[in-house]
Structure 1
Amino acid sequence: MKPSLRLRRILSVAAAFGLLPAVLSADVVETKNGARIVGTVVKIDDGAVLVKTDYAGDLAIKQSEVTGITTDQPVSVRLASGTVLSGTVTSEGSALRITGADGQLTTSVDKVAATWQAGDEDPQTAALRRHWTYEAAVDITGKTGNKEQIGTAVSARAVLKTPQDTLQFYTAYDRQVADGQKAADQFKAGVDYQNNFAGRKSWYVRDEGGFDRVKDIDLYNIAAFGLGYDFIKEPKHTLTGRAGISYRYEGYGDPVAEDVSSAGLDLGVNHEWEFTNSKLVNRVAFVPTFEDFGNYRLTHESFYEIPLAAPEWKLRIGVSNDYNSQPGPGVERLDTAYFTRLVLNWQ
């Protein structure tokens, strides 16, 4: 029995020493409820501590619930005051000590604005740099049997965005044919620029033009400028209201229909909410004329976007409405479209 007991003790000690390097080479995050998460601290961003573990995958822990962080390798730390220091992080009670080549700094978890891998660029600096993002979307529908129907819709968008401003170019074409008759034949192209000049306040200018042959509109154009206000302004959730002055033109092919050419108001709401793996978008624009407030155009689009297996590909499910209060003869006021689109995003 004694040799067996001695052997077990030797194996236990050997195992302990064998595991010691693994423990020492890991980062540790401590929380208010006493939990100790062992892994690799990837970054701190947007009020969350992201930890990569071998046993539970990637974890996002609320920064407000974290009491201590210890890192084995140097990281870059930016405090809420703007101070940046690279070094290893250790917990000392409720304080954090950052030790690097430039010295030591003692702070607390709540004062850490962001961390990233040492040697990499500050994400805040990278975000300020202008860069284009692009998307292209397509949906094709068809039906045979009692009715023959085929439809194609394509769209594209290019966005140049920084925290200070956003520039967008977009275009779309929608063609639907049912039983040999066109149900939709619409093209549009536009540009939208928004400048966030003071906190939640912004100014904008936009222009959109195109045609709608089913509604007998040979050419339409809406040009507008005005002010915006962010009722919600969070990194992944925004709600912006707009109010401005517009010029609206609609030229009809039918000589009986009276063309629209008038200044008016431009009112709109833009809403975007990003979740972990999806996004909800709502856009509404209301453009009445000064000559007759009963003559207006109301457009709306809402969609829910989810990623596919490849992150650059997404599936977009939504609905759009286009309401013209005074359309041409024989044309319905409201057009509603339901869509499922395949979207490709790239930079």
Structure 2
Amino acid sequence: MAPRLLARLACAAAPALAGCSGSQAVLASQGPHAESTAGIAWLLFAGGTAIFAGVLAAIWLAARGPAGARDVLAREGMVLAMGLGLPVATLSGLLVHSLRTNAAIAPRDPPALAIEVQGEQWWWRVHYLDDQGRPVFATANEIRIPVGRSVELLLRSGDVIHSFWVPQLAGKLDMIPGRTNRLRIQADRPGVFRGQCAEYCGGAHAMMAFHVVAEPPAEFEAWLQRQREPAAPPRDAEAARGRDVFLANGCGLCHHVAGTGAMGRFGPDLTHVGGRLHLVSGWLPNQRGSIAGWIASAQHVKPQNRMPSFTQIAGADLRALAAWLEGLE
């Protein structure tokens, strides 16, 4: 009986323990906003455990305890105290604590940086804004921020309701069509933190991830400068051929690549796609083979996404196209 009970307890605890580590760990906070959220969670865990233990003790006393204890538990006053008074006191205390925590993490100083993030089925459009709130450049599915600085995210939706959630840096916040919600995030150390759309938004919802990359301020400023520049010219003849394949197959109707004839705005901006860590909303590593596989089999890799599979591109042309995109750093 004991081994079976331990196995059941382990299965019950597994979901909670899974939130303590990993790239999307809910309780492994890496910033002040997430730390406050984790503090509320630990308080709830501790309170829930104490209440559960108290209920078990009361059940044991009612069933097997001495007669005096059973008489006390059966009194009307005890029933009202435990059934009404304790819940009211507990929930009131949690409400006060939550309100105080929200007030403590409310932004008081202007952010060091403002970034607009728009959720679309099923990817993330990202615009870095200047001091006047105007877009400077665009990227996709990856947000870079400087370590130790508060960043404000302007969250919007281009179609249906999405929810932005990067648990190691902040709580989740809905992205609602026609509205702009604001969220502050801050990373206390360099690292890569995985996020996810937390509101079901259609067929490929489960594959709508993103990454926040926190870099030292000097490295972040260098990255910002590179992003403002147009796409680098092809490095060799194969890359030049890949650029021509890109334009000849109409890819520029959906994608923008600064410095070329590709002026599309429907899909992700690819001006510096080679410098990103992942492809396909955080699901594939950014390397030449993944790029080629995605182009040729987009509907197989991520069913129902808006990009068709370009099966008509010959192998040599596909390799050249992947080489050119990989070089857009």
TM-score interval w.r.t. the shorter chain? under 0.3
Larger radius of gyration: 1
- TM-score between both structures, scaled by the size of structure 2: 0.25
Could you say which structure has the higher strand fraction? 1
Q: Which of structures 1 and 2 has the larger relative contact order (alpha carbons within 8 angstroms, sep 6+)?
A: 2
Q: Indicate the structure with greater helix content.
A: 2
Normalising by structure 1, what TM-score?
A: 0.24
